[in-house]
Amino acid sequence: MRFYPIGLDIKNKKVVIVGGGKIAERKARNLLPYKSDISLVSPDLTDELQKLAERKKISYFKKKYSSTDIKNAFLVFAATNDGTVNRKVFNDAKKQNVLVNVCDKTELCDFIIPAVIKKNGLVITVSSDGKNPKLSRRFKEVIENEFANLWNKL
| pTM tops 0.75 | yes
**Pairing mode, if any, of strands 99-102 and 37-41?**
unpaired
3-state secondary structure of 45: coil
DSSP codes, 134-145: HHHHHHHHHHHH
- Reduced to 3 states (helix: H, G, I; strand: E, B; else coil), residue 108 is helix
* Tens of pLDDT, residue by residue, the chain (154 residues): 888 888 999 999 999 999 999 999 999 999 999 999 999 999 999 999 999 999 999 999 999 999 999 999 999 999 999 999 999 999 999 999 999 999 989 999 999 999 888 887 788 888 988 888 889 889 888 888 887 777 676 6
- What's the CATH number for 14-108? 3.40.50.720
Task: For the chain, give every domain's residue range.
Answer: 14-108, 115-153
- 2-34-54 Cα angle (round to 5): 120
Q: Residue 118: name the closest of 94, 143, 138, 95 by CA.
A: 143
Pairing state between β 37-41 and 59-61: parallel
